Structure 1
Amino acid sequence: MHTETQPSEAQPPVTVRVFRQRFSATRKAARLARLLAVHQLHEWGLPYGSDSSDIAALIVAELAANAVTHGRVPGRDFELRLALDSGGLLRIEVTDARTERRLPAPPPLTPPSDAEAGRGLLLVEALAETWGVTERQVGKNVWATLRTTGSGFGLGTGGLAEE
Structure 2
Amino acid sequence: MTARIPSPEAAHPGQSPRAGEPAPAAATAPAPIHEPESPSAVARCVLPTERRAASWARSFTEAQLASWQVGHGVTFAACTVVSELVTNTILHSGAPDVSLRLTRSGTQIRIETVDNGVWRDPVPPGDNDVAESGRGLLLVGALAQDHGVYQVPSGTCSWAVLSGTADEEG
Identity across aligned pairs (percent)? 37
The secondary structure found in structure 2 opposite 1:115 is: coil
> Which residue of 1 is the match for residue 134 of structure 2?
118
Which has more radius of gyration?
A: 1
C-alpha contact (below 8 Å) 1:45/1:158 kept by paired residues: no
TM-score (norm: length of structure 1): 0.75
| 2:121 partner letter | L
Hey, what's the Cα distance between the residues in 2 that align with 1:45 and 1:29?
24
Aligned residues: 134
> Which residue of 2 is the match for residue 54 of structure 1?
76
1:41 to 53, 65, 72: 65
| 1:93 partner letter | E
Measured after TM superposition, the shift of residue 34 of structure 1 is: 1.1
Structure 2 segments unaligned to the other structure (5+ residues): 1-36
> Which residue of 1 is the match for residue 27 of structure 2?
none
Summarize the Cα distance change of 1:99–1:15 in structure 2 as closer, same or farther, 3 Å threshold.
Answer: closer
Q: Which runs of 4+ in 1 moved over 6 A?
A: none
Summarize the Cα distance change of 1:14–1:97 in structure 2 as closer, same or farther, 3 Å threshold.
Answer: closer
Hey, what's the Cα distance between the residues in 2 that align with 1:157 and 1:146?
15
C-alpha contact (below 8 Å) 2:108/2:165 kept by paired residues: no
| 1:82 partner letter | L
> Which residue of 1 is the match for residue 104 of structure 2?
84
The secondary structure found in structure 1 opposite 2:114 is: strand
Hey, what's the Cα distance between the residues in 2 that align with 1:90 and 1:53?
10
> Which residue of 2 is the match for residue 137 of structure 1?
153
C-alpha contact (below 8 Å) 2:39/2:103 kept by paired residues: no
Hey, what's the Cα distance between the residues in 2 that align with 1:119 and 1:79?
22
Hey, what's the Cα distance between the residues in 2 that align with 1:147 and 1:64?
20
Say what the alpha-carbon RMSD is for the aligned residues.
2.0
The secondary structure found in structure 1 opposite 2:117 is: coil
Summarize the Cα distance change of 1:133–1:15 in structure 2 as closer, same or farther, 3 Å threshold.
Answer: closer
The secondary structure found in structure 2 opposite 1:114 is: coil
